[in-house]
Amino acid sequence: MLAGRARARELGRVRSTRGHLDLGRDSYIDGVDAPAVSTVIEDVVAPLARGELGHDARLNTTALLIKGNKIGDVGASKLAESIEHFQHLLALDVSGNCLDDAGLLAIGTALAPLSAFEELSAGHNPGAVFPMLQALVKSCRSVQRLAIDYSKIGCDPAVFAQLIRDLQVESLRLTGIRRFTDGPAIERLALGTPFLRELHAPGFLTRRSEE
pLDDT tens digits for 59-80? 788 999 999 888 999 999 999 9
Q: Is the pLDDT of residue 32 over 50?
A: no
The yes-or-no verdict on residue 52 having pLDDT over 50 is yes
Query: N- to C-terminal Cα distance for the chain?
Result: 50
Contacts of 110 (CB under 8 A, 6+ apart): 79, 80, 81, 83, 84
- For residue 28, give the nearest of 79, 75, 95 by alpha carbon: 95
Residue type, 166: D
Quick one: pLDDT band at residue 43, thresholds 50, 70, 90?
Answer: confident
pTM of the shown model: 0.83
**Coil, strand, or helix at residue 29?**
helix
How confident is residue 2, by pLDDT bands cut at 50, 70 and 90?
Answer: very low
Beta-carbon contacts of residue 118 (< 8 Å; ≥ 6 apart): 90, 91, 142, 143, 144, 145
What is the rounded distance in angstroms from the CA atom of residue 179 to the CA atom of residue 151?
10
Q: Which residues have CB under 8 Å from 33's CB, separation 6+?
A: 27
